[in-house]
Structure 1
Amino acid sequence: MENTTKIIFPYDQSLVKELPLINKNDIENILITAQNLFNDQSNWIPAFKRIEILEKAASIMNDRSEELIHIAISEGGKPYKDSKAEILRAIKGVKLAAEHISQLKGEQIPMGLTEASVNRIAFTSKEPIGVVAAVSAFNHPLNLAVHQIATAVAAGCPVIFKPSSNTPLSGLALAEILKEAGLPEGWLQVVLCDNETAELLVTDSRIHFFSFIGSAKVGWSLKSKLAPGTRSALEHGGAAPVIVESDADFSEMIPDLVKGGFYHAGQVCVSVQKVYVNEEICDRFVEQFSEAVNKLIVGNPFDEKTDVGSLITPKEVNRVEEWVNEAIEEGAKLITGGKRISDTTFQPTVLFNPSEDSKVSTNEIFGPVVCIYPFANREEAIKKANALEVHFQAAVFTKNIDIALDTTKKLNATAVMVNDNTAFRVDWMPFGGRDASGLGMGGISYTINDMTREKLFVFKSKSL
């Protein structure tokens, strides 16, 4: 009997669809298909054709945006307004990929600078790197698929895409759309499989580039098993620290941080998690922040009024509940929330001054929980913000340019937002973690460049 995966609507646990999983024996054919396309250069899709395919795909996505929003909500449980924003971003991402194809170019390398290098002209060109294996996460099922698939198409690479088994429908919908837009057979293969089969796939020597979005434990483990020569990019999570100084603008900051902390129920790799607030304004901050959090509407993600939907599985609700209870036992003060609403939803929660050793302080929460810590000395707060092994995006709120610059310089992060929340992202900016939070930078153009490699041409001639 063949194995299957059940796609469940996270909010009420109803069955959306059941799909077959491939097994280990299917991997060989999938790899042969991709490798054969890449090895025969007459198969390569010319740049003008790749632009055409991606532009057509963006247009089809635009026409079907409501259907794509519906699919994303039904499998991922992200509220309607946020899923709509995701689908619009995904369409823009496909357009960005199409646009970047014209920027794939090499450069002239000067010759004649020494006697040994006269009578030569040299230049580089960009080629597709080869077969791409991409493993994705559940939290932005369409947009992450675009970041891993549209980029490979733009670079001219055959791509094997493994979506999260919780949320494969958006990736499959994108594959259908690309096929309709003219992507030839075999250039995109979507595989649904268990972790063991996925490991067999990505560690095969025929994979030239491995793109991973998901948990650090899995990502670093897979990277350690890659075949020699396989390049990789990993994107994990962080604990998104924020420094709030006493001159911060409350009217802008409060709604911004609430959105950054509770968007998609905190299931975002740069979700606001640890907020260090100057003790001079801490009471006021806690009061205004918790007041705004209490106004958030938790409910069915299909309801357009819902601010916070469900967590991806009931198991995650149990975990968040355990972590919150543990933090309270270890000295945190519960300001608001702290309880499950149902098997699938958890109250938006604010904890005050949990121990720096509690799980909510040391691990990525990936749930609707924000922790607030008072500080007297900003240097100490920055030190605490930098204390973990994970470093992704961070933020500082102040109207003082010197404080903003000083804090930005000292926070260990790949990006520091000034007077904006840690979850800010547009798809053309570099985006990724450093240290334990990841390897390389994502962002449409950055990923396309990663999926190419350079070739140097050197011509020698007496005529030069």
Structure 2
Amino acid sequence: MQATIQKKKFYIDGEWRGGVSYKDLISPYSGDVLAEIPMANEADVDSAIEAAYRAKRVMRNLPAHERASILERFVQKLSERADEAGEIIALEAAKPIATAKGEVARTIATYKFAAEEAKRIQGETIPFDAAAGGEGRVGYTVREPLGVIGAITPFNFPMNLVAHKVGPAIAAGNTIVLKPASQTPLSAYFIAELFEEAGLPKGALNVITGSGKTVGDRIVTDERVNMVTFTGSPAVGIGIRNKAGLKKVTLELGSNSALIVDEGVDVSEIIDRAVMGAFSYQGQVCISLQRVYVHESNYDAFVEAFVEKTKTLKYGNPLDEETDISALISGSDVERAVSWIEEAKNGGAEVATGGGSDGNVLEPTVILNAASDMKVSCQEVFAPIVLINKFHSIEEAYDLVNDSPYGLQAGIYTENVHTALEAADRLHVGGVLINDIPTFRVDNMPYGGVKESGTGREGIKYAVEEMTEMKLVVFKK
């Protein structure tokens, strides 16, 4: 991999263009320089937006079967280079290679769904004579592409979260200006290379790297951009919404996802799944399991088994197939996470295991009896930290889950069907998982949250709806 990574270039209007200034991309795990990344100025951003603006008519007029064929050819090319893609993710994001390969497999599936949905964009007929005065008319609706989509993506799923924006945009006949996360641009440039080979029209996809202030703000405020789709922090997302004016905006923001373990549940059957949900990719997942509320009858058994399983996780190089836990994305994130652990300890919570760090690797940490106002409880840790508290009644458990500014997904394990149905009704989140962890996601399901977890839904079919607008056609006979 090292030999193939060099000085990178912007991808604008179907061309690879150098930048005026560059910044070293540093491995979160080893500290090695992985590549030199171009940093855009305002003229670079303007060129990318203008290219997308000029290409929007080409994409709008491209038949659905041709858009689907481009996506299908892309899927084939990514499948052929899947191992290379996994190594890119592991290097730039410090994602353990087994998990990185899983992301590539999901990315392939996401673009497959996009190819299929390109052929399913349809409207409906309207019965005008159902209304007085509507006689003698027939009509129908169609869905049309918005035009230029501005996509701003995070570091934690640098291929699959790009796919959830680029895939439906192409399927719907839009063009894209993509700003990947500063730490994970290599995945985005790799994707652009494959789309170029797959025959995507020039200007349909433009990839540009640089600071959020220079690139992100211009994408959000430029009147040629018709929609902004963003995944990242609530603070940035709220800022985007405030600046976007009348643009459509989809925001997938933070979470501190919770799990309820009801009485009567066999703890031994759910521990492996719960530990995976808490610590996969070092907890740097939007729906990572952060809070666990266990019925008092199950609490001691759950804590003992969870801590024992956590202690078996292996730390190390993300390119090692045996690695479960590698580096957090930056040293500052390690410092923040450690300070939150110390705050919890000083406030009377107990650290059952973990809490230490070695370089950018933070030990998987289990915290017991954390108060609801501690940062590890009420904010998004985005680190391998999970808290486990007990509850006495299921009503109390619902209140504990809902006592959060976030509402992305929540899970409940229960043997009682009435409790399951009640939880589905009572939990104020975008998705309720019955007898599973909140970390579950497949790429065709509607995905998004309430409260500070965002607005709109991803999942290819639902993203296509977000990235199109309805037009009504009425014929008077």
TM range (shorter): over 0.9
Kindly report which structure 2 residues correspond to 1:420-459, keeping only aligned pairs within 5 A, or say none: 420-459=436-475
TM-score, normalised on structure 1? 0.96
**CA deviation vs aligned residue, 1:15-36 (integer Å, no higher than 9, x gap):** 1101111101222222222222
Q: Return closer, same or farther for 1:115/1:242 CA change in 2, 3 Å cut-off.
A: closer
1:326-374 per-residue CA deviation (whole Å, 9 max, x = no partner) reads 100001111001111x121011110001121111011011000110111
Question: 1:357 corresponds to which residue?
Answer: 373
The verdict on how the C-alpha distance between 1:175 and 1:42 changes in structure 2, with shifts beyond 3 A counting, is closer
Secondary structure of residue in 2 paired with 1:428: coil
Aligned with 2:244 (options 211, 226, 243): 226
CA contact (8 A) 1:393 1:413 kept: yes
Counterparts of 1:407 and 1:43 in 2: how far apart (Å)?
43
Q: State the match for 2:111 in structure 1.
A: 94
Residue of structure 1 equivalent to 2:14: none
1:128-147 map, 5 Å: 128-147=145-164
Matched residue type, 2:238: W
1:205 to 2:226 alignment: no
- The 1-side partners of 2:229 and 2:387 are apart by 31
C-alpha separation in 2, matches of 1:436 and 1:354: 22
Q: CA deviation at 1:5?
A: 2.9
Shift of 1:114: 4.7
1:314 aligns with 2:320: no
Among 14, 35, 41, the residue aligned to 1:17: 35
TM-score (norm 2): 0.94
1:333 counterpart = 2:372: no
Cα separation, partners in 2 of 1:114 and 1:221, compared to 1, 3 Å: closer
Matching residue of 1:44: 61
**Residue 135 of structure 2 corresponds to residue 118 of structure 1:** yes
1:150 shift after superposition: 1.3
Contact 1:249 1:399 in 2 (8 A): no
Query: Which residue of the partner structure matches residue 9 of structure 2?
Result: none
Deviations, residues 34-81 of structure 1 (Å, cap 9, x unaligned): 22222x468732211101100000000000000000111110111111
Structure 2 contact 402–427 (Cα < 8 Å) conserved? yes
1:132·1:157 contact (CA, 8 Å) conserved in 2? Answer: yes
Q: Give the equivalent residue in structure 2 for 1:305.
A: 322
**Equivalent pair of 1:12/1:344 in contact (CA under 8 Å):** no
- Determine the C-alpha separation between the residues in 1 that align with 2:270 and 2:189: 38
What displacement does 1:400 show? 1.5
Q: Distance in 2 between matches of 1:61 and 1:42?
A: 22
Residues 272-301 of structure 1 deviation map (CA, whole Å, 9 limit, x = unaligned): 001011112211111110000000111111
Q: List per-residue Cα deviations over 1:221-255 (Å, max 9, x = no partner).
A: 11110132x10100012111111112112222100
CA contact (8 A) 2:150 2:220 kept: yes
1:185 corresponds to: 202
Change (3 A) 1:157 1:177: same
Task: Tell me if structure 1 keeps the 8 A contact 2:59–2:174.
Answer: no
Q: Cα–Cα, structure 1 residues 203 and 42, in superposed 2: closer, same or farther, change >3 Å?
A: closer
Between the aligned partners of 2:131 and 2:360, the Cα distance in structure 1 is: 69
2:364 corresponds to which residue?
348
How large is the Cα RMSD of the aligned pairs?
1.4
CA contact (8 A) 1:249 1:398 kept: no
Residue in 2 that maps onto 1:256: 273
Q: Is the Cα contact below 8 Å between 1:132 and 1:159 reproduced in 2?
A: yes
Say whether the 8 Å CA contact 1:205–1:227 is kept in structure 2. Answer: no
Q: Which moved more, 1:7-16 or 1:343-352?
A: 7-16
Q: Which amino acid aligns with 1:133?
A: G
> What is the DSSP-based 3-state SS (H/G/I as helix, E as strand, rest coil) of the residue aligned with 1:134?
strand
How far 1:258 moved relative to its partner? Answer: 0.1
Instruction: Check if 1:381 corresponds to 2:397.
Output: yes
2:261 touches 2:292 (CA, 8 Å); kept in 1? yes
For residue 385 of structure 2, what is the aligned residue in structure 1? 369
Instruction: Report the 3-state secondary structure (helix = DSSP H, G, I; strand = E; otherwise coil) of the residue aligned with 1:232.
Output: strand
Residue 411 of structure 2 is aligned to residue 395 of structure 1: yes
What secondary structure sits across from 1:296 in the alignment? Answer: coil
Question: 2: distance between equivalents of 1:131 and 1:150?
Answer: 14
Task: Give the length in aligned residue pairs.
Answer: 458
What's the CA shift for 1:396? 0.7
Post-superposition offset of 1:112: 2.9
**CA 1:457–1:166 in structure 2 vs 1: closer, same or farther (change >3 Å)?**
same
Q: 2:352 touches 2:368 (CA, 8 Å); kept in 1? A: yes
| 2:233 is equivalent to residue 215 of structure 1 | yes
**Is residue 120 of structure 2 the alignment partner of residue 103 of structure 1?**
yes
Q: Secondary structure at the residue paired with 1:283?
A: helix
Q: Which amino acid aligns with 2:43?
A: N
Tell me by how many angstroms 1:196 deviates.
Answer: 1.2
Question: Conserved in 2, the CA contact under 8 Å of 1:4 and 1:19?
Answer: yes
**SS state of the match for residue 117, structure 1?**
coil
Report what 2:312 is aligned to. 295
Match of 1:26 in 2: 44
Equivalent residue letter for 2:370: P
Q: Which runs of 5+ in 1 are unaligned?
A: none
- SS of residue matched to 1:7: strand
Candidates 144, 152, 158, aligned match of 2:169? 152
Alpha-carbon separation, structure 2, partners of 1:151 and 1:161: 13
Instruction: Tell me the SS of whatever aligns to 2:50.
Output: helix
Q: 1:282 to 1:114 in 2, by over 3 A?
A: closer
Assess if the C-alpha contact under 8 Å between 1:142 and 1:170 holds in 2.
Answer: yes
Q: Secondary structure at the match of 1:367?
A: coil
Instruction: Give the superposition deviation at 1:130.
Output: 1.2
Q: Which moved more, 1:106-115 or 1:84-93?
A: 106-115
Name 2:300's counterpart in structure 1.
Answer: 283
